[in-house]
């Protein structure tokens, strides 16, 4: 039986927010949002045993959802999280239409992984990949304020206190003022900056706004996780304890560890 298109629009309760079926599947790690919509259009998704072809269809949180007959969330206990030291020139997407190497290409796993947030192609450092959509949501949604720490080498040294103060207090960007940041000067031309927002190229734009264009940018911490000595292009799967620390809530990472 095919459910009527356009029925029960709205969304499933998800952390107190409404969510449509396609978004629910994406956050459950089934596929990207666009791919989830394609699965629904193709009639491969059932809700409560009925085929649904509307990506905006609401589920009430009690009806079983399945893709190709397999219940969504049946293997939640086996979700995986990997940390990767992204090299420069690699894009932070699952697929690239221009044929460039992606972070997913660098992590050999027995499952489909998706990057948690993004790093610019010319930036390096810590990025997470997972098939756990709920965890990815917690780590990237602005409401959870998960801190991310970066090391930036900048032009026009030395870095002086007035510029550092502006970064700490918030900088005016085109779309509005940034939240206060934690800033530490490492040397005359290098600083460490911790933010909990995720605007596009935010650290680069903040530094340029105070007169110091970024030459190189590396993410060294994400929440409680640190990059450590993981080599460029290297990756490892997080332990269960590390994943639980990520789930526990935001804490400032602080930089490199040995």
Q: Which positions are annotated as active-site residues?
A: 120
Radius of gyration of the chain (CA): 20
Phi/psi at 135 (nearest 5 deg)?
A: -65, -40
CB under 8 A, 24+ apart: contacts of 178-181: 178/202, 178/206, 181/206
Task: Work out whether strand 124-130 and strand 45-47 pair parallel, antiparallel, or are unpaired.
Answer: unpaired
The answer to whether 212 and 155 have CB atoms below 8 angstroms apart is yes
Task: Work out whether strand 124-130 and strand 214-222 pair parallel, antiparallel, or are unpaired.
Answer: parallel
């Amino acid at each position: 039986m095919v459910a009527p298109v356009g029925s029960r629009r709205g969304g499933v309760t998800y952390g107190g927010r409404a969510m449509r079926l396609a978004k629910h599947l994406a956050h459950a790690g089934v596929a990207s949002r666009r791919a989830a919509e394609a699965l629904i259009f193709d009639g491969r998704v059932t809700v409560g045993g009925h085929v649904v072809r509307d990506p905006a269809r609401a589920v009430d949180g009690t009806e079983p959802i399945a893709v190709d007959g397999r219940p969504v969330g049946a293997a939640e206990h086996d979700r995986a999280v990997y940390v990767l030291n992204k090299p420069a020139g690699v894009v932070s997407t699952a697929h690239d239409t221009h044929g460039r190497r992606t972070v997913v290409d660098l992590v050999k796993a027995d499952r489909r992984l998706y990057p948690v947030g993004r790093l610019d192609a010319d930036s390096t450092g810590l990025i997470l990949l997972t098939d756990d959509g709920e965890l990815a949501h917690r780590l990237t949604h602005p409401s959870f304020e998960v801190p991310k720490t970066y090391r930036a080498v900048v032009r026009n040294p030395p870095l002086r206190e007035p510029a550092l103060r502006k970064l700490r207090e918030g900088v005016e960007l085109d779309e509005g003022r940034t939240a206060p940041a934690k800033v530490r000067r490492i040397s005359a031309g290098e600083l460490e900056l911790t933010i909990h927002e995720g605007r596009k190229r935010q650290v680069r734009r903040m530094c340029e706004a105070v007169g110091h264009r970024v030459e190189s940018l590396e993410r060294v911490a994400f929440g409680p996780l640190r990059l450590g000595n993981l080599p460029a292009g290297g990756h490892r799967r997080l332990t269960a304890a590390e994943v639980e620390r990520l789930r526990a809530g935001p804490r400032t990472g602080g930089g490199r560890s040995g």
